[in-house]
Amino acid sequence: MEDNRLFVAYKPSCMVSNHFLSRIKRRYNVKKAGFSGTLDPFAQGVLIIAFGQFTKLFRFLKKAPKTYRATLWLGATSPTLDIEKVEHVEQMMAFHPDSVAFVLQSMVGEKTYLPPKYSAKKIDGQRAYDLARADKAFELKAITSTIYDCHLVHYIHPFLTFEMTISEGGYVRSMGALIAEKLGFPGALSALERLNEGDFVYDNEKELNPLDYLDLPLNAYLSDPSDILLGRKLVRENFEKNEEGIYQIIIADMLSVVEISANGVEYLLNSLSLKA
Q: Among residues 54, 186, 50, 35, which one has the least CA distance to residue 120?
A: 35
CB-based contact 138:128 (threshold 8 Å): yes
Burial level of 249, CB count in 10 A (0-12/13-18/19+)? buried
Buried b (16+ CB within 10 A) or exposed e, 117-152: bbbebebeeeebbebbeeeeeeeeeeeebebeebeb
Distance in angstroms between the alpha carbons of the first and the last residue of the chain: 10
Given the residues 3, 40, 98, 199, select the one marked as catalytic: 40
Buried b (16+ CB within 10 A) or exposed e, 200-217: bebeeeeebebeebbebe
Distance CA 72, CA 223 (A): 57
Q: Among residues 56, 46, 7, which one has the least CA distance to residue 194?
A: 46
Structure-derived torsion over alpha carbons of residues 177, 179, 182, 185, reported in degrees to the nearest 10 = -50
3-state secondary structure of 48: strand
CB-based contact 36:58 (threshold 8 Å): yes
Active site residue 40: yes
Q: What angle do the packed helices 97-105 and 172-182 form, to 10 degrees? A: 130
Distance CA 41, CA 221 (A): 45
Distance CA 11, CA 32 (A): 19
Residues with a known catalytic role:
40
